[in-house]
Amino acid sequence: MRGIPSFVFALLLSQGSPLLTSSLGAEPVSSPNAGVEVPAPPVTDKIDDYILQMMAKTGVKAMSIAVVDGGKIVKVKGYGFADAEGKTPVTPRTLFQAASISKVFTAVGALHLVDANRLALDEDVNAKLKSWKVPENDLTKEEKVTLRRLIAHMGGINIGGFWGYHQGEPIPSLLDILDGKPPAHTPPIRVNWVPGSKTEYSGGGYCIIQQLLIDVSGQSFEDYMRDTVFKPLGMVNSTFECPLPAEKAALAAHAFGPWNDAMAKSGKFEFLPWGWNNYPEKAPAGLWTTAEDLARFIMDVQETHAGRSTKVLSKDAVDKMLTLVPGSQWKTMGLGLVLEKPGQPNAIFRASGTNAGFQAQFTGTVETRQGAVVLYNNRLGESIPDDLILFIAKEYGWPKFR
């Protein structure tokens, strides 16, 4: 789509191009009782125009968005093609990797167990870990690795992020990842500085939470998250399964980006020949989801904060997510969410993520029941989500959004 001439662009719009696919008339993606209202939009609107122009300019091949206004999902749409051959249009059911947005849902799953008094935020996680323990060292003599610290990236744990595994590569178990054993290609996950002493981004810490949820729930991580978080919220398309089963792999967008060091240095971007990377590091990076599903989460955060929902978490737990973490060196860090202007009338919460060939972001208002989700398959265009969400806010007249 790079460099589409203006007359071709106009023709695509006038003919209802497959580059634009709405949820209207599509196969149902959620239960009939989910309460989502998606009014019939025109074939295109200013947001569609803006997105197609942005995709043409940046080379993004596939994108999906959702808009929440007044506590309802008012727009869900897919743009472009999910595959390298350009034969599979993006629809509202197209799955995208949400990358580090996975951490938000991992935090939600953990807080659900805190609500049930099966976990405590400030207890040494080794008290509940069974299959594996955080190795003690001189750094943990006085201060311990706790769930609160792990969620807030203050647990003293190494490994910021993960690159994933190509299709066809052996996929390590979580225990392999935790101990850095083959076929894992990352070092052992260990305490590298005094827990609580500083804030350092740690996907490794979320792998520890992953094991903690398995040990306490008695379920696999993906089953626990499905039953406890996704089903109650009506997030029927979301999954932490790795690898994807065939029926879900058929719905997945293919990753687009550099897939070796030489390509990265040259700035050359292509569809990954194997489709996408697998992330057995599920808790920090392994979520597959849709824009509509993430919009449902935005709405539940808003409804739970307002005292109108207890589908997954208590109001107290959600309010912890919407409150700055004491002692964090990041002045925007809630317990699992990034916060802007917390406590103010125009406060918002958000999360974003980047995997190999994917980017994702959602943003919601705390008080005014607005929000937007952007998912796409490109490592280019880092400013796309912010620019697009601000454009959506302007089009819907959200004066307090920023």
Query: Using 50, 70 and 90 to split pLDDT, how confident is the model at 335?
Result: very high
| Mean residue pLDDT across the chain | 89
Residue 184 above 90 pLDDT? yes
Tell me the mean pLDDT in the region 211-232: 98
> Do strands 338-340 and 288-289 pair parallel, antiparallel, or not at all (unpaired)?
unpaired
The pLDDT of residue 402: 61
Residue 210 above 60 pLDDT? yes
Query: Using 50, 70 and 90 to split pLDDT, how confident is the model at 23?
Result: very low
Residue 330 above 90 pLDDT? yes
The pLDDT of residue 231: 98
Q: Taking the CA of residue 254 as centre, how many other CA atoms within 13 Å lie in the half-sphere pointing to its CB? A: 23
The pLDDT of residue 265: 84
What share of the chain in percent tops pLDDT 90? 81
Query: Using 50, 70 and 90 to split pLDDT, how confident is the model at 381?
Result: low
* CA pair distance 264, 286, nearest whole angstrom: 23
E-state strands within 245-287: 256-257, 270-271
Long-range contacts of 172-179 (CB under 8 A, 24+ apart): 172/280, 173/280, 174/207, 174/210, 174/211, 174/214, 174/221, 174/280, 174/282, 175/131, 175/132, 175/211, 177/207, 177/280, 177/281, 178/132, 178/207, 178/208, 178/211, 179/132
The pLDDT of residue 260: 78
Q: Taking the CA of residue 64 as centre, how many other CA atoms within 13 Å lie in the half-sphere pointing to its CB? A: 30
19, 12 in Cβ contact below 8 A?
Answer: yes
Residue 32 above 50 pLDDT? no
Residue 21 above 60 pLDDT? no
Q: Decide which of 265 and 61 is more confident.
A: 61
* CA pair distance 75, 63, nearest whole angstrom: 14
The pLDDT of residue 258: 84
Q: Compute the CA torsion angle 290, 108, 346, 379 (nearest 10 deg).
A: -40
Query: Using 50, 70 and 90 to split pLDDT, how confident is the model at 337?
Result: very high
365, 400 in Cβ contact below 8 A?
Answer: yes
194, 298 in Cβ contact below 8 A?
Answer: no
CATH topology classification for 96-377: Beta-lactamase (3.40.710)
Tokens in use for 135?
Answer: 């190795």
Residue 6 above 70 pLDDT? no
Residue 185 above 50 pLDDT? yes
